[in-house]
Amino acid sequence: MPALSIDQAGSGSSVEMQTIDLNRAVDIKSKHRNVSDFLETHRYDALLLQKPSNFSWFTSGADCSQAGSSQTTADFFITSEAIVVICSNADSSQLFERELPGLGFQLKERPWHEPRPALVEDLCRGRTVASDTGVGRTRPVALQLMGMRIPLTVLECERLRELGRVVAHAVEATARHCSRGQMEAEIAGELSHRLIKQCVVPERIQVLADGQAQRYPHWSYGTDRIERYCTISAVGRQWGLCVGVARTVCFGTLPEDLRVAYHHTMLVQATGMYFSQPDWKLFEIWNRIRRIYEKYGCRDQWQQSDQAEIIAYEACELPLFPKSKFRLSTRMPLHWHPSAGPAVAGDTILVADRQFELLTPTQDWPKLHLEVKGSPINCPDILRREA
């Protein structure tokens, strides 16, 4: 069975009438070649993919999640010769017509009332199979798969640039239109609306009123009302890829403690972004940002919450740990979101040959001009509005 043959979903079906996205087909073919090399090197007969992030990665953007839940509608069974989609009859049409049009995947379908795991078990029986979940007797290879997901391909970088602009615009528009006295949940709803209108899934939304992040770094939103200022943060997902961004708006006079803390936080972010360079290990970058915290009397602030992570098909592919020896390379995206006191920052960048590439640029937003090692870096400032 050829890896990217004409689809076998049915003669004369609407699937065959779809226009094939050649860039996507080439991207998938390259990933299949990498998986085939991996199988041959480690002497596996097949690879089973069950996590939505890996489904999206291998298909260059398809979604196998069941709307409104954490359940999935399909698995992938990949050999060097074939790519098989395992699903029920209730989901095969949507998958092949909307998510995987004309891409030539094989189909193993069962009635919706028959358990999918039984079909997976049948395919794995008598074979040495690697998987991203370690289900049954398969060999867990989640860490190796992360190494295949990043660095990103050229197509994925193009998509990430577009997604970054959309998410940044949605967050900034929400901040410009929110009002003093609004509940955090109301603002979260408005942000979700803006993202979903652009077919972006709100992977994570935070609305942090009046220093909420200082008390609860991973707070989402609630019934608290904004009195003085608010940080709005989002991680949006499209084509399976994720991008994160945060912006802060203040009503009336800017509190001095927020002004100082925000300046320190942006210095940390600018330093982290500047040193996110090819061949740098994460602990080397960590040492640079820790010095900023120490220099400005915030020695213990970094211990209160996570600061950054590699982001791609997972909102957190790999966190920035103080002793991590993971080495960066070009086309790796990082979501920087440091905090100090009541202040929170947030932007996503792409590691490039020279200076980093900002994926979440500001649009009609005040800027804070900073320098790191003599290099100017423009960062988003606090948006000030009338009380």
Residue 29, token pair as written in the block:
């073919």
Contact 195, 179 (CB under 8 A): no
Domain architecture of the chain: domains with CATH: 14-149 (3.40.350.10), 154-385 (3.90.230.10)
Contact assessment for residue 145 and residue 58, using Cβ atoms and an 8 Å cutoff: no
Q: Is the pLDDT of residue 20 over 90?
A: no
Please provide the size of the chain in residues. Answer: 387
Model confidence pLDDT, tens digit, residues 251-271: 999 999 999 999 999 999 999
SS3 350: strand
Angle between helices 154-177 and 184-197 (to 10 degrees): 140
The model carries a pTM of 0.92
CA–CA dist 317, 53 (Å, integer):
10
**In this model, does residue 7 exceed pLDDT 50?**
no
Instruction: Answer yes or no: are the C-beta atoms of 39 and 46 closer than 8 Å.
Output: yes
Pick from 89, 96, 112, 151: nearest CA to 279:
151
Whether the CB-CB separation of 60 and 149 falls below 8 Å is answered with no
* Segment 147-188, tens digit of pLDDT: 999 999 999 999 999 999 999 999 999 999 999 999 999 999
Q: Give the pLDDT of residue 71.
A: 85
Report the alpha-carbon distance of residue 380 to residue 360 in Å, rounded: 10
Is residue 93 very low, low, confident or very high in pLDDT (cuts 50, 70, 90)?
A: very high
Task: Return the SS3 of 361.
Answer: coil
Average pLDDT score over residue span 378-384: 97
What's the pLDDT tens digit per position in 113-133? 999 999 999 999 999 999 999
Across the range 202-224, mean pLDDT stands at 95
- At residue 102, the 3 state secondary structure works out as coil
